[in-house]
């Protein structure tokens, strides 16, 4: 195969298979090309990925050597994306009774969800995550987006047990804002003991839900390595139960009288608190 065709094929392979280790002979065999040619191809792809802010190719030398695509979202790209997100969230039509914000349209856009996932995955890239955990319902698409870039599975915590999931572990927890007792359930066979976990959710106020997930994950001896929430709400009345997390946007105020929503960047561009 000619270089031009190889570049297209290999670019597709890397984008579809992030964090999959591939040794060079598998490429030389597949494309009937010399090792030096493949190596040059990889240089070209690596350079372009870096220029476009898509991540980089991680090469390892030696007999077990090879290459792996590590997806990342370049800093400026992430900031620009979150800027746009903030603008969209400021639309006063989003205000719902009770001071809640309508976000389902944004969470319904596969492309937007994917970019959110790319930013979190980029942030959690070095944390050796084994599995992404979320709670039904709205965090699910975000969790899959993050997981697709980290090349790990998703496990979904439910609020109600389902017969199609077999025996499960459940906990009761107190919701942060409503102070109500709620239940969370995770099927026993869904998570291996001692897994490195990243928790993803769409929204965090006092942090009761995330905290509930942390408690439930303790039952599986999981290590919660990272917590990512799309939006956090500034809640001055409450002490937040969760203190180490990454957020993309922060809703600082919803003024029902003046119809103004105040949104700013979350802590994603700072060091993790």
Among 38, 86, 89, 101, binds its own copies (CB under 8 A): 101
108 contacts its own copies (rule: CB under 8 A): yes
d(Cα 13, Cα 10) in Å, to the nearest integer?
Answer: 5
Ramachandran class of 19: left when φ > 0, alpha when ψ lies in -120 to 50, beta otherwise: left
Q: How far is the CB of 11 from its own copies (least distance, A)?
A: 4
Q: For residue 186, which of 216, 221, 215 has the smallest C-alpha distance?
A: 216
Using DSSP's 3-state secondary structure scheme, residue 243 falls into coil
Shortest Cβ distance from residue 28 to its own copies (Å)? 18
Q: Which one among 66, 71, 187, 208 touches its own copies, defined by CB under 8 A?
A: 187
State the maximum Cα–Cα separation within the chain, in Å, rounded to a whole number: 69
Q: Is 52 in the site for its own copies (CB under 8 A)?
A: yes
Q: Which is nearer to its own copies, 15 or 174 (CB)?
A: 15
Q: Least distance to its own copies from the beta carbon of 273, Å?
A: 25
Give CA–CA dist 105/73, Å, rounded. Answer: 23
What's the chain's Rg over C-alpha atoms?
21
CB of 63 to its own copies, least distance (A): 28
> Is residue 234 within the footprint of its own copies (CB under 8 A)?
no
Q: At what angle do helices 140-150 and 110-123 cross, to 10 degrees?
A: 50
Does residue 26 touch its own copies according to CB under 8 A? no
147-176 residues in contact with its own copies (CB under 8 A) are 147-148, 151, 153-156, 158, 163-166
Closest to 249 in 3D by CA, of 130, 50, 94: 94
In a 3-state reduction of DSSP, which class is residue 117?
A: helix
Q: Which of 89, 140, 200, 213 binds its own copies (CB under 8 A)?
A: 140
How far is Cα 121 from Cα 54, in angstroms, rounded to an integer?
12
Residue 197 in the binding site for its own copies (CB under 8 A)? no
Q: What is the DSSP letter of 44?
A: H
Nearer CB in complex with its own copies: 110/272: 110
Interacting residues toward its own copies by CB under 8 A? 3-5, 7-9, 11-12, 15-17, 44-45, 47-49, 52, 54, 96-98, 100-105, 108-111, 113-114, 136-137, 140-141, 144, 147-148, 151, 153-156, 158, 163-166, 187, 189-190, 203
């Amino acid at each position: 195969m000619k270089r031009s065709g190889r570049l297209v094929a290999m670019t597709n392979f890397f984008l579809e298979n992030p964090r999959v280790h591939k040794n060079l002979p598998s490429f030389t065999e597949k494309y009937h090309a010399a090792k030096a040619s493949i190596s040059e191809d990889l240089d070209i792809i690596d350079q372009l990925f870096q220029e476009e802010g898509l991540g980089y190719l991680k090469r390892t030398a030696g007999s077990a050597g090879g290459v792996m695509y590590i997806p990342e979202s370049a800093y400026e790209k992430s900031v620009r994306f979150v800027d746009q997100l903030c603008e969209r969230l400021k639309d006063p039509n989003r205000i719902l009774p009770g001071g809640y914000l309508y976000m389902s349209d944004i969470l319904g856009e596969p492309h937007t969800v994917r970019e959110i996932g790319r930013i979190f995955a980029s942030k959690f890239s070095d944390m050796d995550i084994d599995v992404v955990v979320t709670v039904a319902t709205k965090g699910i698409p975000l969790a899959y987006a993050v997981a697709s870039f980290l090349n790990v599975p998703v496990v979904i915590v439910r609020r109600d047990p389902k017969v199609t999931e077999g025996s499960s572990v459940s906990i009761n927890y107190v919701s942060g804002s409503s102070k109500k007792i709620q239940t969370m359930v995770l099927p026993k066979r869904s998570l291996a003991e001692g897994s490195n976990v990243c928790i993803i959710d769409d929204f965090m106020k006092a942090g009761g839900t995330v905290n509930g997930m942390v408690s439930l994950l303790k039952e599986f001896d999981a290590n919660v390595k990272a917590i990512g929430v799309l939006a956090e709400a500034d809640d001055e009345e409450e002490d937040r139960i969760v203190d180490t997390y990454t957020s993309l946007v922060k809703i600082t105020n919803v003024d029902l009288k003046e119809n103004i929503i105040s949104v700013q960047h979350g802590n994603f561009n700072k060091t993790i608190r």
